[in-house]
Structure 1
Amino acid sequence: MSTGSNKPVVVIEDSVISNNVKELKSMAEVITMSPYAGVDKWIIAVKDAVAVIDRKMRLSKEVLDAAPALKLIARTGIGVDETRIDLNEVRRRNIVVTYNPGINSDSVAELTVMLALSIYRKLFILNRYVREAKWAEGQSNLGNQIKGKAWGFIGFGNAGTHVANIVKSFGCSINAYDPYLNKQAIVERGGNPLELDALLRQCDIISIHVPLMDSTKHLIGERELNLMKKDAILINVSRGGIVDDTALYRALKGGKLRGAGLDTLEDEPIHVTNPLLTMDNVIITPHIGGSTHEAVIAGAELAVNEVVRLLKGEKPLSPYKL
């Protein structure tokens, strides 16, 4: 809520780290909010806001309804979907949404490769053995190398191609399914184009790099998991909901997959009773694939700049096509 100044009000998450906030504060009354403060407090905060800089908070219809003056939502990252914003309400009110495609692709790519290597080399199991003084057990629990493995990409945009450029150096073959790219475009990006079912059947490592939308909800379910090789691994660094987590647990429990690396889940934060937490061959990180210091700062500075442009009457640089 405004403190009564005549400046326009901008709400910014407290997790947004930017070197150009000073310029924004010279132009606007800036209200800092925790993304975990709760809907009731956000409703109060956005009452007079013309812009919101959003990183983690989900801007629901309830929150948006409380912000009649809102003109811009500046996302610090690449994600613009229903897990972040009520898109129907945004469209109805013609609220501009900006985002930063590719800003965290390096960070996401590094985590993707790390998860695959950690599963193949049983990194977390071996670390536990050492901490439990089970040195001999650790030495006898051998992993595998990824050299020569077939890597399959579901989605071959910025993040996918960044991963591909890394794992080529490990000697992995690059295979890709992307419904928005034709075969020639995939080839030009260094991939072997395959249909989804063929990709699942043929590849040793499957990593997901597509947004969550109606067409990708449970894209990987029981049928798709049954198509995968018995010793394959699945990496999801995209969005929860693309993988049917219940079906994934059943596949892992039944020994149908080697393992899984998950940075995103259907229900976040994960509940302590989630059965995936009981699996030694599952590594779960708290949705931080794109959240390195470098990526967070770069994305925040671009988001702040979009708000500054709004206040100056300038057009946005990177509007999301709603």
Structure 2
Amino acid sequence: MEHIVFLDHEGISQSIEKMAPDFPHTWANYEYTAPEQIVERLKDATIAMTCSVPLRKEQLAQLPKLRMISMALTGMDIVDVDYCKEQGIDVRNVPGYAENTVAEHTLAMIFDLVRKTGHYHRLMQDIHAGKKPLQNLYLNYRIRDIQGLNIAIIGHGPIGRRLAELSQAVGMNVCFHDRFGKYQGEQYQSLDLLLQQCDVLAICCPLTDETRDLIRAEHLQMMKSDAVIVNTARGGIINEQDLIQALLKEKIAGVALDVVEHEPIQLDNPILHLVEHPNLILNPHVAWSSENAMQGLMDRAIQNIKNFIQEEKAFKKSGVA
């Protein structure tokens, strides 16, 4: 009998249907699991599912019954995968489930930064509340067309490629940063050249040792003063302190973040202290969470569990084990 524990059920909307695995099992759901609760809740688990709860070596070492981790997300950075490989714990994620929804969210943030729709709505709120006077004409905020802007995309996975398609559809000029020299052509440029030429910088790559602090103060200095940055990938790819200083000193025109380095965001986070800044958009890591994407995510995360059990049974039946 398998015992499956979902550590952070709150990460999936209640409207999402969850298909039950077709093998004997028990299932325990927890809205959220704090780090100090992980070992106790997983002590009898053979399979763990997580949306955002990190599983580290020091916890995994105390869970001898655990054989599989099903990650209801794409990024692998919240699990010590190397340790799992050493211990024979199977780890599976769901790549590509959110390529459209994250790309759409990124584009929506770009539109808001460039077209200032939110700014003008808040202006109307202030006028309605009597905080600002009526005017004949409103030119309070600079508006630029999206068409013709240069967007630099860091990341060439499914999300980055989908964002490129959407960006081209609205008339933007697309270039990618080719970190590993795999690609040829005018669309692929060095990081320095991308930063110097772009009007929009979009972060769409995973957080790894190579991409941590990929964008730092010296890179932000290269950018146009009216360029904007959107990060819907992972906090930590852009050095947050350097980003804050660039925004405050008006080295860049705007920043939209769906992610921060330390999540869930806490009240003492310096980024949160800037939430009233007129050129900052801050979202609580929701770019992935359209209902369409969440349904596909859960279907595939549970299918990963079913596949693992089927493969394990076939392996044992073959007599190799």
TM-score by length of 2: 0.87
1:270 aligns with 2:270: no
Alignment partner, residue 80 of structure 2: 86
1:34 alignment partner in structure 2: 31
> 1:23 & 1:156 partners in 2: Cα distance?
34
Instruction: Name the counterpart of 1:298.
Output: 296
What is the rounded CA distance, in whole Å, between the counterparts of 2:110 and 2:285 in structure 1? 16
Segments of structure 2 that go 5 or more residues without pairing to the other structure are 315-321
Which residue number corresponds to residue 102 of structure 1?
96
Alignment of 1:11-30 (within 5 A): 11-12=5-6, 13-15=8-10, 16=12, 19-24=17-22, 27-30=24-27
Q: Distance in 1 between matches of 2:264 and 2:137?
A: 31
How has the CA–CA distance of structure 1 residues 86 and 276 changed in structure 2, closer, same or farther, with 3 Å as cutoff? farther
Q: Give the whole-Å Cα distance in 2 for the aligned partners of 1:246 and 1:138.
A: 38
Structure 1 residues without counterparts, runs of 5 or longer: 1-6, 317-322
Q: Distance in 2 between matches of 1:210 and 1:315?
A: 36
Alignment of 1:178-189 (within 5 A): 178-180=178-180, 182-184=182-184, 187=185
Counterpart-to-counterpart distance in 1, 2:219 and 2:313:
43
What SS is found at the alignment partner of 1:10? strand
**Which residue matches 2:41?**
45
Specify the SS of the correspondent of 1:23. Answer: coil
8 Å Cα contact 1:129/1:138 also seen in 2: no
Q: Structure with the greater relative contact order (CA < 8 A, sep ≥ 6): 1 or 2?
A: 1
C-alpha separation between the residues in 1 aligned to 2:110 and 2:198?
Answer: 13
Q: TM-score, normalised by structure 1?
A: 0.87
Describe the SS at the equivalent of 1:111.
Answer: helix
Query: Cα offset for 1:20?
Result: 4.8
Which residue of structure 2 lines up, in the alignment, with residue 172 of structure 1?
172
Whole-angstrom distance in 2 between the partners of 1:221 and 1:201: 14
Give the partner amino acid of 1:50.
T
Matched, 1:69 2:65: yes
How far did residue 311 of structure 1 move? 2.6
Aligned length, in residue pairs: 301
Q: Distance in 2 between matches of 1:315 and 1:157?
A: 33
Q: CA 1:89–1:197 in 2, change beyond 3 Å: closer, same or farther?
A: same
- Specify the alignment match of 2:152 in structure 1: 152
Match of 2:212 in 1: 217
- Spell out, residue by residue over 1:54-104, the C-alpha distance to the aligned partner (whole angstroms, 9 max, x if none): 1121112343223212111111221111xx112342233132111121110
Is the 1:33–1:42 Cα contact (8 Å) retained in structure 2?
no
Instruction: Using the TM superposition, give the Cα deviation of residue 120 of structure 1 relative to its aligned residue in structure 2, in angstroms.
Output: 0.6
Q: Show the counterpart of 2:310.
A: 312
In 2, the alpha carbon distance for the partners of 1:111 and 1:161 equals 14
Q: Evaluate the alpha carbon distance shift between residue 34 and residue 42 of structure 1 in structure 2; reply closer, same or farther with a 3 A threshold.
A: farther
2:34 and 2:169 mapped to 1: Cα distance? 45
Root-mean-square deviation (Å): 2.2
User: Is the contact between residue 81 and residue 91 of structure 2 (CA under 8 Å) also seen in structure 1?
Assistant: no
Distance in 1 (alpha carbons) for counterparts of 2:92 and 2:300 = 9
In the TM superposition, residue 170 of structure 1 has moved relative to its aligned partner by: 1.6
- Note closer, same or farther for the CA distance 1:102–1:222 as it changes in structure 2 (3 Å cut): same
Does residue 1:227 correspond to 2:226, yes or no?
no
| 8 Å Cα contact 1:46/1:63 also seen in 2 | no
Match of 2:317 in 1: none
